[in-house]
Amino acid sequence: MHDTYKHKGLRQQLVTLLKNKGITNDAVLNAIGKIPRHLFMDSGFLDHAYQDKAFPIAADQTISQPYTVAFQTELMEVNRGDKVLEIGTGSGYQTAVLCELGAKIYTIERQQELFKITSKFLPKLGYRAKKFIFGDGYKGWVEQAPYKSIIVTAGAPFVPKPLLAQLEIGGRLVIPVGENVQIMTLFVRTGLKAFEKTEFDEFRFVPLLEDKN
């Protein structure tokens, strides 16, 4: 797997662009500056890898736009050692960013093809999630709850209750909510039954799909 000075240069330009768009968290910017995003997509799309754009991957899904990844990760406020749940592993790019931040990651993907590809691919780059789960993210992953933060990387028509329930007190859920267009939404659990909700800009994601079974 090939990472060259050309790729490194393009990545630095991407980092500068993200800073100009308002991303300030250095750890997040460093992670994006380090991760070879071109290896997460088909080699034919090399020219696109360091543009600030989403891109098609297997199973009709997309690798999220770098700005979206940065924005969501910044909202999670990840510290080293945090236990984090990710819904929608996809290409694994967001997972790699969370690995760089030192999180302990539990990641769920409902497309079998992507689950297989990505759970093999990420360790080859040295990125190890605590657990790759093939399943339905609407349910979260109660076995390891509570989580310090939860990120949903697909558009959720509503906020799944289990995800709120699986946050620790002080924990953060970052979720794009809406059907055609999504409002980036942050929930902070302030008490056993208390949540503080903040809404941000609009984004566009592939849909968070309900279980096939």
Which residue lies nearer to ligand SAH by CB, 112 or 190? 112
Of 1-60, binders to ligand SAH (CB under 6 A) are none
108 near ligand SAH (CB under 6 A) = yes
Q: Is 26 exposed, middle or buried (0-12, 13-18, 19+ CB in 10 A)?
A: exposed
> Catalytic: 64?
yes
User: Using CB under 6 A, which of 37, 110, 148, 172 touches ligand SAH?
Assistant: 110
Burial 86-111 (b: 16+ CB within 10 A, else e): bbbbbbbbbbbbbbbbebbbbbbbbb
Which residue lies nearer to ligand SAH by CB, 161 or 170? 161
Name every residue whose Cβ is closer than 8 Å to that of residue 21 and which is 6 or more positions away in sequence.
52, 67
In whole angstroms, the minimum distance from the beta carbon of 89 to ligand SAH comes to: 6
The residue assigned the tokens 């980036």 is 184
User: Which residues in 76-118 belong to E strands, given as ranges?
Assistant: 83-87, 104-109
208 near ligand SAH (CB under 6 A) = yes
Which residue lies nearer to ligand SAH by CB, 53 or 190? 53
73 near ligand SAH (CB under 6 A) = no
In whole angstroms, the minimum distance from the beta carbon of 208 to ligand SAH comes to: 4
Which residue lies nearer to ligand SAH by CB, 82 or 136? 136
138 near ligand SAH (CB under 6 A) = yes
Query: Do residues 205 and 67 touch, judged by C-beta distance below 8 A?
Result: no
User: Using CB under 6 A, which of 137, 140, 176, 178 touches ligand SAH?
Assistant: 137
127 near ligand SAH (CB under 6 A) = no
Query: Do residues 41 and 55 touch, judged by C-beta distance below 8 A?
Result: yes
Q: How many CB atoms lie within 10 A of CB 85?
A: 29
Q: Which of 64, 91, 119, 149 is catalytic?
A: 64
What tokens does 2 get?
């090939």
What residue type is 36 in one-letter code? P
- Residues near ligand SAH (CB under 6 A): 61-64, 87-88, 90-91, 93-94, 108-111, 114, 136-138, 153-154, 206, 208-209
